[in-house]
Every structure is written in C-alpha cells, then in structure tokens.
Amino acid sequence: MIKENMIQLSACDLRVIAPLQGVGVLALGNATCSGAPDFHQKPIFKNPTPNPMPTQLYNMSHLAETRKVLRKNMTPAELVLWEMLKEKKLLGRKFRRQFSIGNYIADFYCTTEKLIIELDGQQHFTKEGVEKDKERDKFLAELGMKVLRFENKEVLDNLTEVLKKIKLEIAGQSASQIEKSFYPNPL
C-alpha cells in the first residue's frame, strides 16, 4: 500500500501517482499489477483535505464526559420533563437526554421525529446566549431538525401545556408524513 497525502492507494490499482501542490493526488491509469497504465484515461483527482462536516455527527467522543456530567446534574425542570419523556411514555416515541449533534448537546432528542427539546435557563436570555441559540438552531435546521424551546419555569409551572405542545409537534409531523404518502407529488 502507498500512503500519499493521507489517501491509501493500492499499487495494483494505480501505477502512476503524482502529488500536485495544493490539489491533492493525481492518479493516472487504471492498470492491474501485471499491465502497464492506460494513459489515455482521464486523470482522477483525489483531494486529501478533510471534510469540514464530521463523519460522525452524533454523540462524538470528545463530548462524552460533558454529556455524562450533564445527565448526572440535570436541572429540576429537566428532571420533571425527563420523567414524562423516558421509556417511550410520550406517544410511544423514544427520547434521549443530553444527546450531542455536531458540537452541540441537546437536552432531549427524538431520533424518529428529528425533534429537539431545549429547556432554557437564565444564560439563554443574555445577548450572547440568544446569539448562540440562533447559531445552534440554524445548524440544526440545516440538518432537518426541529427545535422546541421552553423556559425552565414554564416546565415547572405548566407541564401539561408543555407536553401538549410537544404532542402537537409530533402529531403535526406524523400527519404531514401520512399526507405525503397518500398524496404524492405529481411532478
């Protein structure tokens, strides 16, 4: 095996390998080990620069300890809501707590619905907190996820209404999925 700019290439697959500055690796030919390279084929460019989007998006290992600490030190509002979400108690949906997506840790996440539930404490209401939440919500929306935000006080004072909003969000998503299956796009 030849290791060139972090790309492994088999000597049997490629006979001519020429590194190009700033471009990556240019591989010419499509020869077998016994034959000569075919120089009439188009060059194959391989870019060794890493993908800016991590290949592992969920529960990355560098956040494992943080997730564990957050699970052990849940706020009173998180504990109350978790009691209602765990063990598929809410509409049979499985929720995970302190689940990381990219470099963000969601308070609660339902994988089947791509639904994130965030409970906001005081730090979320500062100018910096609001900006961070906007950036985070934009990132998650680009992944096709929906974020529902509730204040800690709202969960503690009016749990029934919070659960109703979560159920409506799940039911709304389910209804739209059912509608798409009955009424496919004619184009």
Q: Tens of pLDDT along 70-107? A: 999 999 999 999 999 999 999 999 999 999 999 999 99
Domains of the chain, first to last:
2-46 (no CATH), 61-182 (3.40.960.10)
pLDDT tens for residues 138-176? 999 999 999 999 999 999 999 999 999 999 999 986 555
Cβ contact 12:33 at 8 Å: yes
Q: What is the DSSP letter of 122?
A: G
C-beta separation of 105 from 115 below 8 A? no
Q: Which residue has the tokens 């009955």?
A: 182
pTM of the model: 0.64
Q: What does the mean pLDDT of the chain come to?
A: 75
